[in-house]
């Protein structure tokens, strides 16, 4: 399963998720991966009909998923290819987000119905998709999903979500959703959304959610609208002599090597730092551990 959340922060819409994939064996869940991408950027390009060079609209929409990973990742690839090749006749058509969403939903239905015909019920997925309307600049979120009773009589749905009313939108494991609600609703607030999600990822009582965090933001002021951000997380590291802080630059759960940011051509990616307080505490912990290591070395030296 998974836990994907969406919420509004000022005028921005944020997506966050874990990175774990699991399979069920009896009553237990077995982790198959802790580094599965679950948040995607979908290019939406609209051309004047009959041309491939008169580009009328070129922005990115956001997409996150829960459920059957193989079908969901295939859906995101198909969606990216098809929505990046849209055409209209400007004199008779209006670029409207609802028309584009309907195309996305028809693709979702086609892939899902083929899975049902193959009796691959466990591969069905639910998704959230967000973007900004090309004509009105309206921000929107849609959920594509399904309801069923033991995978019989599967009914699909598409619904637009009022993020100002819902505040937080969830996809995924019910136990994880309940835990998140308990953490985020404490007063005074102690944890932000990403810290709550990280706590759940570290909770052994919720085995279907885990791995590292993923984070994307829809922002009308950004040139491409939707961006996937890296997340800076830190940990203690011991080199045999001293304890120090190791910073991990995580992008879609992958710890990117420092070499990618060096040289004449390098990766430029923005990172968020939601765990600054925890990082500062690690410095204090490292100092204590180094003092203990120094005492041990002195004791061993005196014994000699």
Q: Domain limits of the chain?
A: 3-291
Residue 190: its pLDDT value, please? Answer: 56
Q: What is the mean pLDDT of residues 281-295?
A: 91
Please give the Cα distance from 71 to 81 (Å, whole number): 15
Go through the chain and tell me how many residues it has.
Answer: 304
Residue 29: its pLDDT value, please? Answer: 86
Across the chain, what does the average pLDDT equal? 88
Question: pLDDT confidence of 287, banded at 50, 70, 90?
Answer: very high
Exposed/middle/buried for 10, CB within 10 Å: 0-12, 13-18, 19+? exposed
Please give the Cα distance from 115 to 228 (Å, whole number): 29
Residue 252: its pLDDT value, please? Answer: 83
Residue 127: its pLDDT value, please? Answer: 93
Provide the total of helices (H) and of strands (E) in the chain, helices listed first. 6, 16
- For residue 25, give the nearest of 100, 122, 101 by alpha carbon: 122
pLDDT tens per residue, range 62-81: 999 998 887 777 888 899 99
Please give the Cα distance from 276 to 280 (Å, whole number): 6
- For residue 293, give the nearest of 217, 218, 225, 239 by alpha carbon: 239
Question: pLDDT confidence of 95, banded at 50, 70, 90?
Answer: confident
Domain spanning 3-291, CATH architecture: 4-Layer Sandwich (3.60)
Question: pLDDT confidence of 218, banded at 50, 70, 90?
Answer: very high
Q: Of 1-5, 29-33, 150-154, 176-180, which gets the smallest average pLDDT?
A: 150-154
- Contact yes or no for 38/212 (Cβ under 8 A): no
């Amino acid at each position: 399963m998974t836990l994907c959340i969406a919420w509004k922060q000022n005028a921005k819409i944020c997506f966050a998720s874990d990175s774990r994939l699991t399979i069920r064996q009896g009553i237990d869940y077995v982790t198959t991966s802790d580094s599965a991408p679950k948040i995607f950027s979908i290019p939406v390009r609209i051309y004047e009909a009959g041309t491939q060079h008169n580009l009328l609209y070129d922005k990115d929409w956001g997409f996150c998923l829960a459920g059957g990973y193989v079908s969901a990742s295939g859906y995101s690839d198909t969606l990216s290819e098809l929505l990046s090749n849209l055409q209209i006749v400007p004199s008779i058509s209006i670029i409207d987000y609802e028309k584009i969403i309907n195309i996305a939903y028809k693709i979702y239905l086609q892939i899902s119905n083929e899975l049902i015909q193959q009796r691959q019920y466990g591969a069905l997925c639910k998704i959230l998709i967000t973007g900004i309307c090309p004509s009105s600049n309206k921000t929107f979120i849609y959920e594509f999903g399904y309801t069923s009773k033991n995978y019989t009589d599967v009914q699909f749905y598409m619904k637009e979500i009022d993020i100002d009313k819902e505040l937080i939108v969830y996809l995924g494991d019910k136990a994880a959703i309940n835990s998140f609600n308990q953490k985020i609703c404490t007063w005074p607030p102690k944890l932000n959304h990403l810290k709550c999600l990280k706590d759940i990822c570290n909770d052994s009582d919720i085995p279907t959610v885990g791995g590292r965090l993923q984070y994307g933001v829809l922002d009308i002021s950004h040139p491409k609208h939707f961006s996937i951000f890296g997340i800076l997380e830190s940990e203690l590291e011991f080199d045999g002599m001293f304890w120090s802080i190791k910073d991990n630059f995580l992008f879609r759960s992958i710890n990117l090597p420092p070499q990618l940011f060096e040289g004449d051509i390098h990766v430029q990616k923005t990172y968020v730092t939601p765990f600054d307080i925890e990082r500062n505490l690690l410095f204090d912990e490292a100092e204590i551990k180094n003092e203990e290591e120094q005492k041990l070395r002195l004791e061993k030296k005196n014994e000699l």
